[in-house]
Amino acid sequence: MRRPPTLAQEIRQRLRAGKEGAVFVTHDFLDLGTRAAVDQTLSRLAARGEVRRIGRGIYDRPRTNPLLGVTVAPAPDDVARAVANSGTSRLQVAGAQAVNALGLSEQVPARIVYLTDGTPRTLRLGGQTIVFRRTSPRNLATAGRTSGTVIQALRHLGKQNVDGEVIKRLRKSLSAQEKATLKEDRLYAPGWMQRVFDRILDLETE
């Protein structure tokens, strides 16, 4: 009689079904066993180098650069997405990363900040640091929406630095659907940002 697969074998099978470099959290395997059993199994797999522990309850399937032969750090967005998909918290990119995500800056920040209503933590990925910063419900009212990213980008730039060029670049880069999101979420933005939204939407003349 064939024995049922062990928890380690089931987790390995699921990992092989995903892509190399994929980021996952303990929560992704709780349908296979108890939290304690999954934690213990992932710890053993990490000790063997089959997975890499990024932070508490967060892992990835290590990916190697074929040219350099070195292990590549996971993309910050992949880490944030895995945390958000665990269903335990909401996340909103903020700071310089929000500016970069909207194409308002080509500079890739070394410190990436996500606002959250979950557990605050700091992770280091290669030369980058990811900070999950706990914030108020108001700052997460538009979490995961384009409007939320625009609000955080404008907040980082500051009112004095949001000029006509910034308005034009956002007006050009945002899709019709994303602009509709701005209109829907206008009231979640501070007063001065609402006027910026209006200019992006051509509701106010420059």
Whole-angstrom distance, CA of residue 37 vs CA of residue 16: 20
**Residue partners of 127: CB distance under 8 A and separation at least 6:** 73, 110
Q: Are residues 49 and 127 in the same domain?
A: no
Domain holding 14: CATH number?
1.10.10
Q: Are residues 117 and 90 in the same domain?
A: yes
Q: What is the residue-level pLDDT of the chain in tens, covering all 206 positions?
A: 677 889 999 999 998 888 888 899 999 999 999 999 999 999 999 999 899 998 888 999 888 877 777 788 888 888 888 887 776 678 999 999 999 999 999 888 889 999 998 888 898 887 889 999 999 998 899 998 999 999 999 999 999 999 999 999 999 999 999 999 999 999 999 999 999 999 999 875 44
Domain membership of residue 205 (yes or no) is: no
Domain membership of residue 181 (yes or no) is: yes
Q: Are residues 86 and 145 in the same domain?
A: yes
Domain membership of residue 110 (yes or no) is: yes
DSSP string, 23-36: EEEGGGGTTTS-HH
Which one of 72, 89, 110 terminates a domain?
72
Pairing of strands 128-134, 111-116: parallel
Q: Are residues 92 and 165 in the same domain?
A: yes
Domain membership of residue 206 (yes or no) is: no
CB neighbourhood size of 49 (10 A): 9
State which residues form the domain around 62. Answer: 7-72
| Model pTM score | 0.79
Q: Are residues 88 and 149 in the same domain?
A: yes
Q: Are residues 14 and 47 in the same domain?
A: yes
Q: Are residues 171 and 112 in the same domain?
A: yes
Q: Are residues 181 and 127 in the same domain?
A: yes
